[in-house]
Structure 1
Amino acid sequence: MLSTDQSSGRFRLLLPLGLTALAGFALLRSALLAHNWGDVDADLGIGTLARLYGTGALYDLAFLAYAAVPLVLYLMLVPQRLYRSRWQRPLAYGLCFALLYGLLFVLAAEWVFWSEFGARFNFIAVDYLVYSDEVLGNIRESYPIGWLLGGLGLLALALLWALRRPIGRALDGDSSGKVRLLTGCALLLLPVAAYLALDQRPGQAFDNQYLNELAEDGPYQFFHAFRDAQLNYAQFYIQHDDEAVSAELRRQVQQPNQTFLTPSGYDLSRHVDNRDRGPEQRLNVMMIVVESLSAKYLGVYGMTDADATDLTPNLDRLAGQSLWLSKLYATGTRTVRGLESLTLSVPPTPGESIIKRPHNGGLFSLGQLFAARGYDSTFLYGGYGYFDNMNDFFGKNGFRIVDRADMTAPEIAFANVWGVADESLFGRAMREADADFAHSRPFFQLVMTTSNHRPYSYPDGRIDIPSKTGRNGAVKYTDWAIGDLLEKAHQKPWFKDTLFVIVADHCAGSDGRTALPVDRYHIPLFIYSPAHVQPQRIERLVAQIDVAPTLLGLLNWSYNSRFFGKDILHMTDSDERALLSNYQHLGLLDHQRLVVLSPGFKASALAPPGAAHARPLAVDDPGLDPALALFQGAARVDSGHLGLWQGQPQNAATRPAGLP
């Protein structure tokens, strides 16, 4: 006969483990709130805190309902005879230790992820799970992983000891098979109820983006991101009439030297005529895309890091010798977003970058345009190009691939888990250029660096900041490597006929008070060629998607285009704008305000753009028209039904019939 205490059942095991998990999530939420207190409103009141922790606890419970399913099944299905056997107790304690260790590991991982990205787990965390070799290697090289894992193990043992009595009582108890079945089925309904009753994330419950992130549960968001890596624009975002939106889009992309090749609709095929600038130039192009180079790290931008001095002497000097676009903004927060913008000249769309999506080949791209004119279009990457699907994308869109797998040991001066040192990558780029020059073939190189990335390691003796001491050192090393490249390239016979384009893929961080903090998207761009480019500082507000048409304009190329971007040198004051995004929010920035489109058919505006609080916009607000033209238009083209990015519009190298 079971006692009353025993008859309460083995499911009591869930109570101490669940309460410990809730306490752990609450402590993490409190620690993150304290860590970012300066970025949260100073007048944070009791009501707001109660709503924050209440919402957070609700999503924590939803995650625990899912996470408890295996344990509930075990407790429900194991017969009483086996549950009371000698091996059950050590097995149960071992299982409890594993669960507590897993909880602590998740809490520590969330802290590290927040430190890097200023957010709870999202699509980036999903990517990091998929590319585990790079990520685990990065963690090993950045943190004392053995000590951390050992410390978590000791803490898990301490928690297990503290919970030994309630766990023991649960292991001593039992219930009849019928009670176990009914209780287990009731508990298994909880994740179903969470799925039906809760939105996939708390949404924009607060004006402050940090509070929205804190209200979430990281593991819950991780599985949501794993399941829904793409967002269907039509399902989640404001839309207006296609005829009006496409007409507005055409007005936004057209410039005086362009003629549309189709009468209406989302097909942006148009002829770009640059003959008035002079004869077409077949110059080489080396586009260096620098990992995570925020404008704020450069001296010419007034370097805002008080702990750093003179990080970028080479780039600062280059600014005065180049066509310097000083108000360029990245379209996204990941490398693939930057590469997408630079090669396809397309606004960001919700979810993953086009680079990582299926059916991403044969697109109208910068690589295809150069290849059509006989250039050797090459994508050079310091890491392994399978990461983020880069080799697949570039290989199907006009580029030859050279990545770490193609480099021999003597070529590599230094490497970490993310890739070879920038100097080694630049050395290979120059050897590729030498080979093209020897065969009288012009080249277009897109060179993607990796050194300015955690663990921030690089060869010794290059700069006065020791390796692996932080991003400042990585920035200074990258600057040194670019200076070394240009010095060596100056001795090459192809130097005088080469344009060097130096641009960042995105900023070093994207966290801020708002969904799209404008200052976290500001990146540098220098176009350097002493024989062909007059030094000039251009202060127009421009987007990453404008780089490709501007580059082709500098070459005086006339071509047929489907780009969404504009030639900056043909811009007027009314053309100025930038595009910002993360995985969910899409923003159009001008000098007066930032308009943001969000899931749930929401729109808001920040005026001025750096304001801490957004003003909601009605669905029919005419101020939405420019943003909808670009983002709804890009989504329509991206849908695949129109196929308007596929291939070349007529012949990319010649004028259409009937044009002079």
Structure 2
Amino acid sequence: MTETPIQAQRTAPTAGRLALAGPLFVAFVVVSALTRLGLAAFNADTSLFEPLRLGPAVLLGLGYDVAVALWWCLPLVLLGWWWPAARARSALGIVALVLTAALIGGLVFVSVAEFVFWNEFASRFNFIAVDYLLYTREVIGNIRESYRLTPLFAGIGVATLLLTLALARRMRRAALEPAPGLWRRSGHAALYVAVAVAVTAGVNTGWKDRLGQPQLVQVAGNGVWEFFHAVRYNQIDYQRFYATLPQAQVNAILQRRFADPAHYRLMATPEMPIRREVIPDGPQRGMNVVMVSIESLGAEFVESLGGARGLTPNLERLGREGLFFERMYATGTRTVRGLEALTLSVPPTPGHAVPMRPNNSGLFTIGGVFKDKGYEALYLYGGYSYFDNMASFFGGNGYTVIDRTAIDKKDIHHENIWGVADEDLFDLALREIDTRAAAGKKVFAHVMTTSNHRPYTYPADRIDIPSGTGRDGAVKYTDFAIGQFVEKARQRPWFDNTLFVFVADHTSIARGRSDLPMERYHIPMVMYAPGKIAPRRVDALSSQIDVAPTLLGWLNVPYVSEFFGRDVLRDGGPAPSLFMANYQTVGFVGEGMQVELRPKQGTRVTGVDGSKPSTEHAQEALDEGIAFYQAAAQRFSSRRFEPPPPPKER
């Protein structure tokens, strides 16, 4: 005897409609696991595949995958809840299949996007991915110029189709199953959401951190989970999440750094314990200053620093004719971190770099020091300066901001999504300096290059490596443009009265076996002023935050400083130190020890050579690292709605 729809409904399985989400749930977990294994292989580190290392990463990763899969499948659960119990079940199957195809397409797209992101940042999605949602023009343009999108999207389409077809029969079967009434369906849907909430609350992002090896930690994660975690924690309250010290101890530690009475006179304030008058060694050198921050030029590309041969002959030559800083280290892995360090001379506090935070105008900057001395401070960028909030940050701190919009189309030899070719940027800088020099103005010009960035394209016939073939060519082209820039500047009347500074913003990649591998932050720096600077190699350990006080010190500029960096060329006293960050983990290197500070008051102290330091020395290094970051966070945290007033010189 055939059952009526009502009879079938009465005998229906209690959770039949939830079965609509089952096939997609399984597909999500499988694709996520394959992505995890694929990223491990893509990372090209065979040690990640050791069973006792990969096994725990896969198991932990399954927890993240399940949590995200429950939410990914929620649209199908809601569809089953909303659809009437005994109406158009075949139509329900079709709608459910179309919705599943869309969700699978999104899943495959995210998986492919993770490989693209990993190729650039050696990481799962993080706060950089969140930031890049603000700059879709540059990001999408970069992808279009760097990858062959037609086969890429064709592959995504084929994978989506095959996965959807594989699930089609089970989806249709689930749709044809009898369903309970609305109240029971509502109970099922509510129970599903409750389970999703409970699983999400029970999964801890910190679990994978126990794996130790940074790349293994990243492999264990889930891209969607990491993305939403970054959205939630994009701003990090240092005082709440990191180790701290009593304020009196912080002040005492920092003030010892600048206690030399021959060079400094402390003028501490409650907001700035290291505010100090800088006492010059001699008469001020009233020279123009051109500081070029070079995109992604790590030591790995500079032969005299142990890097690749023949890629930077012009920079090497300038180094031989000026001051070449052999042990200079970047503070971060992004341009905005380099700009922060070079402009503000501040340790890289957790979360966003200061230029990306609100209320970041009216700060104490190197451009402000020069402006107080009668200079015009310029910021010149080859791209559009709204990117990474550059226009707002530099414009709000007294700089004249000039970007690619100031270059006539006929004067552009090449451009890509990131900006004009470096030679065009340097020609713009020459023109702007010429104009001001002709008017009798002194200039501090900060020039930020763009060519050494994916898709690595540049004008043809400049170097012996074809455009668009890889980073080596982009490095060599940037070096060519630097050489051409110096030679053109040499013909200007202002050349002999100008100090040139060439320093990288960061290295090409910060991947390593620790959270903060020192060697991945190593960058070159050259100070060049023919006839004014005696050539020599500077082997003092130095950080990007030392650049501003060092070049101001060489110029013998008298000023009241609020910089956290030191003058590498003349400061004695405490041992030099470094500051490095990779977003949530921030680091301090001093006295042969490396300190790592993490959320939840996590700390770690090791010898730079991997040795275990004595308890006493480890505590001293830890306290010093905490003191610097705590003071910097208090000063620059976005919780401070008004910056402290600029100091007045005595």
TM-score, structure 2 normalization: 0.94
What is the identity, as a one-letter code, of the residue corresponding to 1:378? L
What is the identity, as a one-letter code, of the residue corresponding to 1:317? R
Q: Deviations over 1:4-38 (max 9, x none)?
A: 78765122121111111111111111122233353
What is the identity, as a one-letter code, of the residue corresponding to 1:359? N
Evaluate the alpha carbon distance shift between residue 485 and residue 93 of structure 1 in structure 2; reply closer, same or farther with a 3 A threshold: same
Does residue 293 in structure 1 map to residue 297 in structure 2?
A: yes
Distance 1:387 1:83 in 2: 51
What is the identity, as a one-letter code, of the residue corresponding to 2:42? H
Distance 1:62 1:614 in 2: 38
Alignment check: 8 A CA contact 1:562 1:645 kept? no
Q: Structure 1 unaligned runs (5+)?
A: none
More deviation, 452-461/153-162: 153-162
Does residue 9 in structure 1 map to residue 16 in structure 2?
A: yes
Shift of 1:65: 2.4
Shift of 1:407: 2.1
Shift of 1:236: 1.1
Alignment check: 8 A CA contact 2:371 2:377 kept? yes
Distance 1:230 1:5 in 2: 49
1:631 — aligned with what? Answer: 629
Q: Deviations over 1:446-466 (max 9, x none)?
A: 111110000001111111111
Distance 1:582 1:230 in 2: 14
2:3 — aligned with what? Answer: none
User: 188, 197, 212: which is aligned to 2:193?
Assistant: 188
User: 115, 122, 126: which is aligned to 2:119?
Assistant: 115
Does residue 19 in structure 1 map to residue 26 in structure 2?
A: yes
Alignment check: 8 A CA contact 1:39 1:512 kept? no
More deviation, 182-191/522-531: 182-191
Alignment check: 8 A CA contact 1:350 1:585 kept? yes
Does residue 101 in structure 1 map to residue 99 in structure 2?
A: no
Alignment check: 8 A CA contact 2:545 2:565 kept? yes
More deviation, 368-377/520-529: 368-377
Shift of 1:85: 6.1
Alignment check: 8 A CA contact 2:17 2:77 kept? no
Q: Deviations over 1:372-427 (max 9, x none)?
A: 12211111011111111110000000100101222221221110001111000000
1:342 — aligned with what? Answer: 342
Does residue 68 in structure 1 map to residue 66 in structure 2?
A: no
Q: Deviations over 1:156-208 (max 9, x none)?
A: 11111112211111121242122311110011113321443233443521121
What is the identity, as a one-letter code, of the residue corresponding to 1:502? F
1:447 — aligned with what? Answer: 447
Secondary structure at the counterpart of residue 321 of structure 2? coil
Alignment check: 8 A CA contact 2:457 2:474 kept? yes
2:556 — aligned with what? Answer: 556
What is the identity, as a one-letter code, of the residue corresponding to 2:110? V
Evaluate the alpha carbon distance shift between residue 604 and residue 324 of structure 1 in structure 2; reply closer, same or farther with a 3 A threshold: same
Where in structure 2 are the equivalents of 1:186-585 lying within 5 Å? 186-255=191-260, 256-262=262-268, 266-274=272-280, 276=281, 278-303=282-307, 305=308, 309-572=309-572, 574-585=574-585
Q: Deviations over 1:84-134 (max 9, x none)?
A: 364x43332221111111111111111111121111110111122221110
Secondary structure at the counterpart of residue 537 of structure 1? strand
Alignment check: 8 A CA contact 2:378 2:445 kept? yes
What is the identity, as a one-letter code, of the residue corresponding to 1:568? V
Alignment check: 8 A CA contact 2:350 2:585 kept? yes
Alignment check: 8 A CA contact 1:202 1:215 kept? no
Shift of 1:433: 0.7
What is the identity, as a one-letter code, of the residue corresponding to 1:112? V
Q: Deviations over 1:504-558 (max 9, x none)?
A: 1111011111111111100110010103211111101111100000111111111
Alignment check: 8 A CA contact 2:257 2:573 kept? no
Q: Structure 2 unaligned runs (5+)?
A: 1-6
Alignment check: 8 A CA contact 1:209 1:512 kept? yes
Distance 1:397 1:89 in 2: 60
Alignment check: 8 A CA contact 1:603 1:618 kept? no
Distance 2:638 2:128 in 1: 25
Evaluate the alpha carbon distance shift between residue 97 and residue 538 of structure 1 in structure 2; reply closer, same or farther with a 3 A threshold: same
Shift of 1:367: 1.1
Shift of 1:363: 0.3
More deviation, 66-75/377-386: 66-75
Evaluate the alpha carbon distance shift between residue 65 and residue 254 of structure 1 in structure 2; reply closer, same or farther with a 3 A threshold: farther
What is the identity, as a one-letter code, of the residue corresponding to 2:277? H
Q: Deviations over 1:296-342 (max 9, x none)?
A: 10111121x4xxx4111111111101111110100111111110010
Distance 1:70 1:7 in 2: 19
What is the identity, as a one-letter code, of the residue corresponding to 1:347? P
Secondary structure at the counterpart of residue 524 of structure 1? strand
Distance 2:486 2:592 in 1: 39
Evaluate the alpha carbon distance shift between residue 599 and residue 96 of structure 1 in structure 2; reply closer, same or farther with a 3 A threshold: same
Evaluate the alpha carbon distance shift between residue 513 and residue 580 of structure 1 in structure 2; reply closer, same or farther with a 3 A threshold: same
Distance 2:365 2:572 in 1: 25
Alignment check: 8 A CA contact 1:604 1:617 kept? no
Distance 1:181 1:225 in 2: 32
Evaluate the alpha carbon distance shift between residue 227 and residue 615 of structure 1 in structure 2; reply closer, same or farther with a 3 A threshold: farther
Alignment check: 8 A CA contact 2:360 2:643 kept? no
Shift of 1:578: 0.9
Evaluate the alpha carbon distance shift between residue 642 and residue 357 of structure 1 in structure 2; reply closer, same or farther with a 3 A threshold: closer
User: 616, 619, 627: which is aligned to 1:621?
Assistant: 619
Secondary structure at the counterpart of residue 500 of structure 1? strand
2:4 — aligned with what? Answer: none
Does residue 147 in structure 1 map to residue 151 in structure 2?
A: yes
Secondary structure at the counterpart of residue 383 of structure 2? coil
Shift of 1:644: 9.5
Alignment check: 8 A CA contact 1:637 1:643 kept? no
Secondary structure at the counterpart of residue 580 of structure 1? strand
Does residue 50 in structure 1 map to residue 55 in structure 2?
A: yes
Shift of 1:618: 11
Distance 1:33 1:78 in 2: 42
RMSD between superposed Cα atoms in Å: 2.3
Shift of 1:39: 6.3
Q: Deviations over 1:339-363 (max 9, x none)?
A: 0010111111110001010010000
Percent identity, please: 42
Alignment check: 8 A CA contact 2:257 2:574 kept? no
Alignment check: 8 A CA contact 1:349 1:635 kept? yes
